[in-house]
A and B are shown apart, each in its own frame.
Chain A
């Protein structure tokens, strides 16, 4: 006969300890405090967005949002006092989302890079130079012309062209 549960989380061990549900009860004051912090952070995020920081704006927005989300998850959703495994599930969902986003971005951001380093845009089908393909980064003066050409030639044929050259857009 085995000794009852060493590792499993079945409720057989210390019966009277684990029979009744023990959940953490926060005070009303504490909850309201968290709410006030959330409102304050909302104010911050609005205020920062009024200042033009360039690309950093997006970064700050996501950072503040993540702090807010963590507060909600930890205290309103009780993760702070919950089984660590639940927190692991929550965090891992963001991990997998991160994999999804990074690998997709990795493709879209590096498309056409070999063409760029060779200074041409060629049709994969026959190896001929594509009309209106974007011009290499080293010659930015043709960028505008190349862009229009690609649009006219139909982007179905070469969607990679305009994605791969964000520099040419802006």
Chain B
């Protein structure tokens, strides 16, 4: 770390050292972020392939392309890969790693070695997951429910260990970010001047640190249960299979906030930049992120209403579940209010942010149907749940990830992308996504159970529609990939602040130097102070940011 000379610290981070070793052994948070980015995109591709296979199988009733056993494996792998290898690390570990220290005006994260370690822990976890896929795969669903997971003869243990190891990667990233936000803010960066992206990352980190260890112990117990018949989740030995679900969801419900809060964090930045105004309700949005982190710990058993938990507990958890709507609603209303009378610039990242707003609202509101005890009895384990989940995760987080990636792409690579082509890909993704999943709400409310290999003929039109939607979605992602590749090959050089954003990360060069800023920045304004400057000044840099001699 301290081996870098003054000159190196002021060099473009992509040009400090070259060759594979300079990447694999780097302690620079930006390079680690890029390595994460490549990994999660590969994982997204793999998980996406499984998703397309699952949809293809469901095109028609009966066998279409695979057997029932293969189908069980395909949807399990889709879920496990998307959750553990893609969504959880996507925004925090990839984009967050790159942007968070830059936004804070820090030179790096607090523990650069730990950061690199967390990446390699992720890699090891991925290897275990791939090993599990090769050696017989898993057919339990990504939730690993007992008693099926303790009795099926697929390779549950290696997938469990993979999730266990990936959990540690997530914990270390969260820990690192928390300390960085607390201790490495540039002079003048008060808590009330923190960009909302940072607030979201901070809330996410709290959840990662508090919830993920419970997943670790749960999966360890599950592995022991399988190997030694320990009995903790086995009713014949006095254990309780439903206890597994308590343990699992104590992590995995907060984990869905690990997935969505970063998405909210990204779109908060996008809305401010592309409406050219201070975000409405800054403090409310910041606090609602923390609120989600806290409330997320109080509602986990709403996944278990029909699993045999007590009626009293079900009522309690149902009532508490409605609390989640408050911070989520606060955010949605504040974003909408930010759009109002803003001077909206419809770039592709902004289009993704708008898609997020619409789709997250649909996903969030349908969550209330599921949180209501009575309606959940009808809707549980139907496609309604699948649609709800995907509207939040894919319609929300993935849209934010895609938008955020394009938004920060010039900062990360120093190159611009083709706006026209990107807009086309957005069109395909938006239409494809809604075609795939909107119909699943209808299908689910009419009783189509999730995870079924076969179905009654009356569901066929819905399934066929959904499958065709998944193809449109797939095309959209291919075009998106083409946008990125084209930009890397022949994209024009990006100016420091292509969007004219007031965000601090745009005050440094694109791509940033190794130490992020050539001089130690001192923050003298808020991250959304658009009222201080004219439109031209935005692109040239804030007058107050200009170097001053003491």
| Direct A–B contact present (CB less than 8 angstroms) | yes
B522 touches A1 (CB 8 A): yes
A110 touches B310 (CB 8 A): yes
A155 touches B235 (CB 8 A): yes
B524's contact among A1, A6, A110, by CB below 8 Å, is which?
A1
B242 surroundings in chain A (CB, below 8 A): 107, 159
* B182 located at the interface, meaning its Cβ lies under 8 Å from any Cβ of chain A in the complex: yes
* B297 located at the interface, meaning its Cβ lies under 8 Å from any Cβ of chain A in the complex: yes
B187 touches A106 (CB 8 A): no
Q: CA–CA, A160 to B524, complex, Å?
A: 61
* A74 located at the interface, meaning its Cβ lies under 8 Å from any Cβ of chain B in the complex: no
Which A52-75 residues sit within 8 Å CB-CB of chain B?
none
B383 surroundings in chain A (CB, below 8 A): none
Which B246-297 residues sit within 8 Å CB-CB of chain A?
246, 250, 297
A103 surroundings in chain B (CB, below 8 A): 246, 298, 300-301, 313, 316-317
A160 touches B313 (CB 8 A): no
A9 touches B182 (CB 8 A): yes
B301 touches A5 (CB 8 A): no
Q: Shortest CB–CB separation between residue A80 and chain B, in angstroms?
A: 21
A10 touches B240 (CB 8 A): no
B365 surroundings in chain A (CB, below 8 A): none
Q: CA–CA, A113 to B137, complex, Å?
A: 41
A2's contact among B184, B188, B191, B309, by CB below 8 Å, is which?
B188
A8/B313 contact (C-beta < 8 A), A111-B308, A156-B147, A159-B240 known: no
Q: CA–CA, A155 to B239, complex, Å?
A: 10
Q: Shortest CB–CB separation between residue B255 and chain A, in angstroms?
A: 14
Number of A-B contacts (CB under 8 A): 90
B548 surroundings in chain A (CB, below 8 A): 1
* B243 located at the interface, meaning its Cβ lies under 8 Å from any Cβ of chain A in the complex: yes
Greatest chain A CB density within 10 A among B186, B235, B297 is at B235
User: B215-243 CB contact bits vs A (8 Å, 1 = yes)?
Assistant: 00000000000000000000110001111
A10/B313 contact (C-beta < 8 A), A2-B522, A156-B236 known: no
A107 touches B313 (CB 8 A): yes
A110 touches B190 (CB 8 A): no
Greatest chain B CB density within 10 A among A1, A113, A159 is at A159
* B189 located at the interface, meaning its Cβ lies under 8 Å from any Cβ of chain A in the complex: yes
B185 surroundings in chain A (CB, below 8 A): 8, 10
Q: CA–CA, A70 to B293, complex, Å?
A: 27
* A99 located at the interface, meaning its Cβ lies under 8 Å from any Cβ of chain B in the complex: yes
B214's contact among A100, A108, A124, A160, by CB below 8 Å, is which?
A100
A148 surroundings in chain B (CB, below 8 A): none
Closest residue on chain A to residue B247 by CB atoms? A104
Q: CA–CA, A109 to B312, complex, Å?
A: 10
Closest residue on chain B to residue A160 by CB atoms? B308
A1 surroundings in chain B (CB, below 8 A): 522, 524, 548
B191's contact among A4, A7, A85, by CB below 8 Å, is which?
A7
Q: Shortest CB–CB separation between residue B243 and chain A, in angstroms?
A: 7
B243's contact among A104, A106, A155, by CB below 8 Å, is which?
A104
A12 touches B236 (CB 8 A): no
Q: Shortest CB–CB separation between residue A47 and chain B, in angstroms?
A: 31
Q: CA–CA, A2 to B545, complex, Å?
A: 12
Q: Shortest CB–CB separation between residue A120 and chain B, in angstroms?
A: 14
Closest residue on chain A to residue B306 by CB atoms? A124
Q: CA–CA, A9 to B190, complex, Å?
A: 9
Q: Shortest CB–CB separation between residue A10 and chain B, in angstroms?
A: 6
Interface residues on chain B, size class: 35 or more
A99 surroundings in chain B (CB, below 8 A): 297-298
* A78 located at the interface, meaning its Cβ lies under 8 Å from any Cβ of chain B in the complex: no
* B183 located at the interface, meaning its Cβ lies under 8 Å from any Cβ of chain A in the complex: yes
Q: Shortest CB–CB separation between residue B288 and chain A, in angstroms?
A: 19
* B133 located at the interface, meaning its Cβ lies under 8 Å from any Cβ of chain A in the complex: no
Closest residue on chain B to residue A109 by CB atoms? B310
User: A1-21 CB contact bits vs B (8 Å, 1 = yes)?
Assistant: 110111111101000000000
A106 touches B312 (CB 8 A): yes
A107 surroundings in chain B (CB, below 8 A): 242, 246, 301, 309-310, 313
A4 touches B187 (CB 8 A): yes
User: B154-195 CB contact bits vs A (8 Å, 1 = yes)?
Assistant: 000000000000000000000000000011111111110000
* B210 located at the interface, meaning its Cβ lies under 8 Å from any Cβ of chain A in the complex: yes
A113/B311 contact (C-beta < 8 A), A2-B522, A99-B297, A99-B298 known: yes
A138 surroundings in chain B (CB, below 8 A): none
B240 touches A163 (CB 8 A): yes
A156/B235 contact (C-beta < 8 A), A99-B298, A163-B240 known: yes
Greatest chain B CB density within 10 A among A9, A107, A109, A156 is at A107
* A133 located at the interface, meaning its Cβ lies under 8 Å from any Cβ of chain B in the complex: no
* A27 located at the interface, meaning its Cβ lies under 8 Å from any Cβ of chain B in the complex: no
* B431 located at the interface, meaning its Cβ lies under 8 Å from any Cβ of chain A in the complex: no
Q: CA–CA, A109 to B316, complex, Å?
A: 14
* A23 located at the interface, meaning its Cβ lies under 8 Å from any Cβ of chain B in the complex: no
Q: CA–CA, A85 to B297, complex, Å?
A: 21
Q: CA–CA, A89 to B522, complex, Å?
A: 29
Q: CA–CA, A109 to B240, complex, Å?
A: 13
A8 touches B236 (CB 8 A): no
* B16 located at the interface, meaning its Cβ lies under 8 Å from any Cβ of chain A in the complex: no
* A93 located at the interface, meaning its Cβ lies under 8 Å from any Cβ of chain B in the complex: yes
Q: CA–CA, A110 to B308, complex, Å?
A: 11
A9 surroundings in chain B (CB, below 8 A): 182-183
* B41 located at the interface, meaning its Cβ lies under 8 Å from any Cβ of chain A in the complex: no
Q: Shortest CB–CB separation between residue B309 and chain A, in angstroms?
A: 5
Q: CA–CA, A113 to B311, complex, Å?
A: 8
Give me 16 other A-B pairs in contact (C-beta within 8 A), A10-B183, A103-B246 excluded.
A1-B522, A2-B187, A2-B523, A4-B187, A8-B188, A12-B187, A100-B250, A103-B317, A107-B309, A111-B309, A112-B310, A113-B311, A124-B308, A155-B236, A156-B235, A159-B308
26 A-B contacts (beta carbon < 8 Å): A1-B524, A1-B548, A2-B522, A4-B187, A4-B188, A8-B188, A10-B186, A10-B187, A12-B187, A99-B297, A100-B250, A104-B246, A107-B242, A107-B301, A107-B309, A107-B313, A108-B243, A108-B310, A109-B310, A111-B309, A113-B312, A156-B147, A156-B235, A159-B241, A160-B310, A164-B310
